[in-house]
Amino acid sequence: MPRHFDPIYLDHNAGAPLRPVVREAMIAALQEAGNASSVHTHGRKARGKIEEARDAVARLCGAKTRAVTFVSGGTEANMTALTPAWQDQGAPVYLDKLFRSAIEHPSVVTGGRFPVIDQVVVPVDENGVVRLEALEELIKDVDPSLISVMAANNETGVVQPLAEIGALAQQYGHFFHVDAVQAAGRMPIDVEAWQADVITLSAHKFGGPQGIGAVIVRSTARVPAPLMVGGGQENWRRGGTENVAAISGFGAAAISALEEATETRHLLHLRKRLEEGLRAVCPQTVIFGEGADRLANTVCFAVHGIAAETALIAFDLERVSLSSGSACSSGKVSVSHVLTAMNVDEETARCALRISMGWDTSEADVARFLEIWPKIVDRLNPEARHQAA
């Protein structure tokens, strides 16, 4: 009789499973009535839950509590941050251009509220790290502009030199945005150390609910123009009645993520075991971004001759969920723009698979993956088992 295995989830970069503590916080919020803008007892109780969550998210980022604005998710957060129109010390400022790296998330690649003509792409090296000298050359002789660089890449896990980029932004009088969606809970977030004017988060990447994110500024005197206008919610920075349950869940997730951000030994151990196991099966395995600092939870790899879409189907039949790259591009057969920017050839890029682990990933999950992978290789490209590195 065949053994029964529970499903294995290795796609945390697309969205992490909901933490039990988050579910409890959301259920408690859902059981209460009240609009947080109301002055009666029920409204004040809802307001209290929002402010508790705001404080937790601020602590996750090393920011002031009033610097946190809740929005509907990472995409809205990025759209809010990516605008030429800002307020600085009470005066309107119009930024000249958007300088964004070549490996940004699709919600940043679109340029937000910047016209296409005002968008400039900053190149990266073969590991997917922003070329600082190229960035400096691009920004040194232009009027105040916005620089947008993600903290860690969603496909490869490669971490960017944010403090150095922030220093360049300060030196040349520019504003700096960091998409920290993949960083939360996986590395320390420090808005001051990065000298970032604005950072953006999405709760569901680290065990919070879907549909809730945040825009966090370094100073409430320097803020992007609101994207959603209407009432005076969120200190007039985002109109619309707050989703108290989702915000409560976000806060609970932030507390857990803050504890995990500096304690990554478990994930580093699992990543090392995975990469050693992959190369034991196929010595020619390519691990993208291997020469750079990476998140402990992410392994993006390829084996020549094993197409990603075919491998994903095979894994799904074994009840293992992983990804071929950005979940926001799922269903598309185009090559990853991230790998293209890293000068990965098209044939290799079409074989790219991404494993992303998180708070609930176990040794048994990794062991099961490494048990299944050789069988898939033997079905799809048995010669890969014998090709030298």
Instruction: Give me the chain's average pLDDT, please.
Output: 93
- Amino acid 231: pLDDT: 85
- Amino acid 1: pLDDT: 38
- Residue 122's pLDDT band, with cuts at 50, 70 and 90, is very high
Please choose, from the candidates 95, 100, 96, 57, the residue with its C-alpha nearest in 3D space to the C-alpha of residue 215.
57
- Amino acid 3: pLDDT: 58
Residue 389 has pLDDT above 80, yes or no: no
pLDDT per position as a tens digit, 350-384: 999 999 999 999 999 999 999 999 999 999 988 87
Rounded percentage of the chain residues whose pLDDT exceeds 90 = 85
Contact criterion met (CB below 8 Å) for 160 and 181: no
- Residue 152's pLDDT band, with cuts at 50, 70 and 90, is very high
Residue 328 has pLDDT above 70, yes or no: no
Residue 234 has pLDDT above 90, yes or no: no
- Residue 245's pLDDT band, with cuts at 50, 70 and 90, is very high
Write the CA distances from 279 to 219, 272, 282, integer angstroms. Answer: 47, 11, 5
- Amino acid 334: pLDDT: 72
- Amino acid 260: pLDDT: 87
pLDDT per position as a tens digit, 303-313: 999 999 999 99
Residue 23 has pLDDT above 80, yes or no: yes
Instruction: Burial-class residue 90 by CB neighbours within 10 Å (0-12, 13-18, 19+).
Output: exposed
Report the distance separating Cα 109 and Cα 136, nearest Å: 20
- Amino acid 325: pLDDT: 60
Report the distance separating Cα 203 and Cα 263, nearest Å: 19
Q: Which of 73-82, 225-234, 255-264 has the highest mean pLDDT?
A: 73-82
- Residue 36's pLDDT band, with cuts at 50, 70 and 90, is confident
Residue 326 has pLDDT above 70, yes or no: no
As a whole number, mean pLDDT of residues 283-293 equals: 96
328: annotated active-site residue: yes
Write the CA distances from 342 to 5, 100, 288, integer angstroms. Answer: 37, 15, 9
| DSSP 8-state secondary structure symbol assigned to residue 359 | T
Higher-confidence position of 385 and 133: 133
Contact criterion met (CB below 8 Å) for 311 and 297: no
As a whole number, mean pLDDT of residues 343-349 equals: 95
Residue 330 has pLDDT above 60, yes or no: no
Report the distance separating Cα 286 and Cα 299, nearest Å: 10
The one catalytic residue in 61, 300, 328, 351 is 328
Half-sphere exposure of 105 (CA within 13 A, CB side): 29
Rounded percentage of the chain residues whose pLDDT exceeds 70 = 96
pTM over 0.75: yes
Residue 2 has pLDDT above 70, yes or no: no
As a whole number, mean pLDDT of residues 50-68 equals: 96
As a whole number, mean pLDDT of residues 185-198 equals: 96
